[in-house]
Amino acid sequence: MDDKHLDTLFREKLSNHEIKPSPRAWFKLEQQLAENKKPLWLIWGQYAAGFLLLLGIGIGYQYWNQTPSELGKELITEIAQIQPTAPAPMDTVTVEKASEAPPLFQPALIKPAPSKPAPAYKPSEQVATLPSDPSERLVESLPPADQREVVWTETLAFDLATMPLDIDEIITEIAPQEKEIAYTVKIVSRGYAIAPDKGQLVDGIENKLEKIGGFFTKVDKGFGDLQDAKNDLFVHVMASKKEK
Amino acid sequence: MFLSKTFTKEPDIVKRCLRGDRKAQRELYEANAGKFHSLCIRYVKNSMVAEDVMIEGFMKIFEKLPQYEGKGNFEGWMRKIMVTQSLLYLRDNKNLLMEINLDGQENSPAMGVTDHDLNCQDLFQLIAELPVGFRTVFNLYVIEGYSHREIQDMLGISESTSKSQLSRARAALKNRLSKESYQLKETKNHG
């Protein structure tokens, strides 16, 4: 018998061979199936626990992102240290130039506050028409073309070596000046109302008490008179009985 | 047979089993228990142990039923689970050792059957008396139809070891058959 015939013989005879298990096999299987079946609340509880876990992770992640990291704190500290010492040549230069040149270029940079226009300007021309964008404000407040060239040439020649040319940074450096605006705090109050004199009230109460006391005195006196009259009547009755 | 008798009912039984219908589970069990019990005995040899392995296999079938996509042969899918469960038992109990020689088996007592007694039970007994390594590879390759490459992956042995085990299993069976003077009809028919 060769291998092929041997394999065929065993495959055909045994592949579908059946040996019935004992009757208790099904009961064992049924018991295991019953034990393995999870109650419905446990399944939903697992889902709920998973959902709460994911929710907690999400909230924690969001909270963690909102909290500045140590690196962020260091950067903020460095920036805070750098900002006060940063050179601000634009201010001094502009002030100096403003004293020499016509004052048209100065107010937009030095005193952009709309509440206090520079004395060299007419308020109606400056404060009311200042645009919100600082770059536009600069352009609009520039002097005529011939004067503009002089001012810019002098300013750039002075600042190119030492200061950044980014207009945003310039505006950022200028921006703190807006804090120099003098605010007038006016406290409006109606003051304290004069309280009515309480002495009259006390006197009134005392008078009423005195009146009440007088009333009781009169009652006592009337009661005493009534007792006397009763005694007199009793004596009179007794005397009349004795006479009889 | 389950598939031949209730082929049209198969999807229905699967759906009912998925819903946890105990009656459908019992139907599935009754239709396949004998076949799978026999399969497990071929691997683990002991009938009682094979019954426990079969129960564990059915548990796996019911647990993994949602993963069955309806493609292919449902019985083949269940059979594969049963085979895997049997191999897991052999591995966990450290019974799956590959024998090197057949000396012990060649000296085993004869079966004492005649050719006309040859039936499924005899062949079943012949396989059951093989060493576990021979028996496992012979079952996987010849009865189940796995390739040596698949057996290599399933048992964690080399392909050459699988071929060697199969060769020795065939030799042992031939030796036993010749010693007992089996005259198989198939042998006569094929010359």
Work out the percent of chain A whose per-residue pLDDT is above 70.
45
The pair of three-digit structure tokens given for residue A131, joined into one six-digit string: 């645009």
Q: How far apart are the C-alpha atoms of B22 and B179, rounded to whole Å?
A: 50
How far away is chain B from the Cα of A43, in angstroms, using its nearest Cα? 15
Contact list in A for residue B124 (CB cut-off 8 A) is: 14, 17
Our separate counts of H helices and E strands in chain A read 11, 0
Q: How far apart are the C-alpha atoms of A142 and A108, rounded to whole Å?
A: 9
Q: How far apart are the C-alpha atoms of B49 and B42, rounded to whole Å?
A: 11
Q: pLDDT digit string (tens) for B73-129?
A: 899 999 999 999 999 999 888 766 665 544 444 444 334 444 445 678 888 888 888
**Is residue A38's pLDDT more than 70?**
no
Q: How far apart are the C-alpha atoms of A69 and A75, rounded to whole Å?
A: 10
Q: How far apart are the C-alpha atoms of A109 and A94, rounded to whole Å?
A: 8
- Which DSSP letter does residue A86 get? S
Contact list in A for residue B35 (CB cut-off 8 A) is: 16-18
B169's CB contacts (< 8 A; 6+ apart) are: B130, B134, B135, B137, B138
Of A17, A26, A32, the CB nearest to B120: A17
Which own/partner contact pairs does A100-106 have at CB distance under 8 Å and 24+ positions apart?
A101/A147, A101/A150, A101/A151, A102/A143, A102/A147, A104/A141, A104/A142, A104/A143, A104/A147, A105/A141, A105/A142, A105/A143, A105/A151
Q: How far apart are the C-alpha atoms of B142 and A11, rounded to whole Å?
A: 6
A79 Rama class: left (phi>0) / alpha (psi -120 to 50) / beta: alpha
Q: How far apart are the C-alpha atoms of A56 and A29, rounded to whole Å?
A: 40
The pair of three-digit structure tokens given for residue A160, joined into one six-digit string: 């190119």
Give the CA distances from residue A26 to residues A30, B11, B32, B46, B78, in Å, rounded to whole numbers and listed in that order: 6, 22, 12, 18, 17
SS3 A179: helix
Q: How far apart are the C-alpha atoms of B41 and B43, rounded to whole Å?
A: 5
For residue B174, the tally of other CB atoms under 10 A from its CB is 15
Between positions 6 and 35 of A, the ones with CB within 8 A of B are: 6-11, 13-22, 25-26, 28-30, 32-33
- ipTM > 0.90, yes or no: no
How far away is chain B from the Cα of A40, in angstroms, using its nearest Cα? 13
Contact B143/A11 with Cβ under 8 angstroms?
yes
Contact list in B for residue A21 (CB cut-off 8 A) is: 33-34, 37, 51, 54
| Half-sphere exposure at residue A36, Cβ-oriented, CA atoms within 13 angstroms | 14
Would you state the torsion angle of the CA atoms of residues A12, A16, A21, A25, taken in this order, to the nearest 10 degrees? Answer: 140
The pair of three-digit structure tokens given for residue A135, joined into one six-digit string: 């770059």
SS3 A168: helix
Give the CA distances from residue B123 to residues A11, A132, B48, B101, B126, in Å, rounded to whole numbers and listed in that order: 10, 99, 20, 22, 5
**Domains (range + CATH), chain B:** 2-92 (1.10.1740.10), 103-189 (1.10.10.10)
How far away is chain B from the Cα of A42, in angstroms, using its nearest Cα? 17
Q: Domain residues of chain A, as ranges?
A: 87-180
Burial A68-87 (b: 16+ CB within 10 A, else e): eeeeeeeeeeeeeeeeeeee
Which own/partner contact pairs does A153-158 have at CB distance under 8 Å and 24+ positions apart?
A154/A97, A155/A90, A155/A93, A155/A94, A155/A97, A158/A89, A158/A93
The pair of three-digit structure tokens given for residue B115, joined into one six-digit string: 């050719």
Of A3, A9, A29, the CB nearest to B55: A29
Give the CA distances from residue B173 to residues A38, A55, B185, B186, in Å, rounded to whole numbers and listed in that order: 48, 64, 16, 15
Considering only CB atoms, which residues of chain B are within 8 Å of chain A? 1, 20, 22, 25-26, 29-30, 33-35, 37-38, 41-42, 47, 51-52, 54-55, 58-59, 62-63, 119-120, 123-124, 127, 138, 142-143, 145, 170, 173-174, 177, 184, 186-187, 190
pLDDT in tens, chain B (191 residues): 444 444 456 778 888 998 888 999 999 999 999 999 999 999 998 889 999 999 999 999 999 998 888 778 899 999 999 999 999 999 888 766 665 544 444 444 334 444 445 678 888 888 888 998 999 999 999 999 999 999 999 999 999 999 999 999 999 998 887 776 555 555 555 54
| Least confident span in A49-63, A169-183, A221-235, B33-47 | A169-183
| Least confident span in A14-23, A108-117, B5-14, B21-30 | A108-117
Q: How far apart are the C-alpha atoms of A161 and A71, rounded to whole Å?
A: 31
